[in-house]
Structure 1
Amino acid sequence: MFKKIVNIVVLVPLGVILIALSVANRQTVTLALNPFDTADSVLSVSAPFFLFLFLAVVVGLVLGAAAVWLSQGKYRRRARSEAHEALKWHREAEKHRSEAERLSQVNLPAPQN
């Protein structure tokens, strides 16, 4: 429930802002990738301005997510190794438990009448 409220509080205003941004910036602009010859049509792209803004946001999100994912690699590696070690100790404990049960079955004294 709380997650839905947070999503509504965040996503609805964000959607309204994005729609307003798209409507206000729909004129066509040219993005020239050649800094020395801006008239070069091979390295230029014409599109509505809001597309360039959205593309910049998406590229920023992807680069930020990649940076966080790469920086947290050591923690994921440690979690994997600790999970493997926990599984190894669990298997060893199960082996000892079954061995103890087997030995207790063998060494039970006969019932006295």
Structure 2
Amino acid sequence: MIKRVVNVLVLIPVGIVLIVLSVANRQPVTLALNPFRPEDSVLSTTAPFFVYLFLATIFGLVLGSLATWFAQGKYRKRARVEANEAVKWHGEAEKHRTRAEAIASQAVVPVSGK
């Protein structure tokens, strides 16, 4: 529940800001990737400024997701190891339960005869 509230409190304002910036920044902007010759058209692209805003946002989301994924890798590995151990111990308990039931069924209950 708290996660949903935080998402709403963060994502809705970010979305509103992006929409407002998109509407306000529709003029074309040239992005030059060659710092020594910015007029070089091979390494430059022209697009509305809001396209660059959206691309930067998407890039940040992907980069943040990857950082989170790699940071949580040790926890996922630990969960896999513990799940495998739980399966192993569950199988071991089943084996002992079956063996105990077999021993109990073979035990002869003495009947007192009168």
Cα-Cα RMSD: 2.0
Q: C-alpha offsets along residues 2-26 of structure 1, whole Å, 9 cap, x if unaligned?
A: 7776655544433322221101111
Percent identity over the alignment is 60
For 1:50-93, what per-residue CA distance to the aligned partner results, in whole angstroms no more than 9, with x for missing partners? Answer: 11011111101111110111111111111101100110000000
CA distance in structure 2 between the aligned counterparts of 1:33 and 1:27, rounded to whole angstroms: 19
TM-score by length of 2: 0.86
Cα distance in 2 between the residues matched to 1:6 and 1:27: 33
Count of matched residue positions in the alignment of Structure 1 and Structure 2: 113
Query: Which letter does structure 2 place at the counterpart of 1:55?
Result: L
Gaps of 5+ in 1: none
Structure 1 residue 31 displacement after superposition = 0.4
- CA–CA separation in structure 2 for the residues paired with 1:62 and 1:93: 44
Structure 2 residue identity aligned to 1:44: S
Pick 1 or 2: higher relative contact order, CA cutoff 8 A, min separation 6.
2
- Flag structure 2 segments of 5+ consecutive residues without an equivalent: none
Structure 1 residues 10 and 70: alpha-carbon distance in aligned structure 2, compared to 1, 3 A threshold: closer
CA distance in 1, matches of 2:4, 2:92: 45
TM-score by length of 1: 0.87
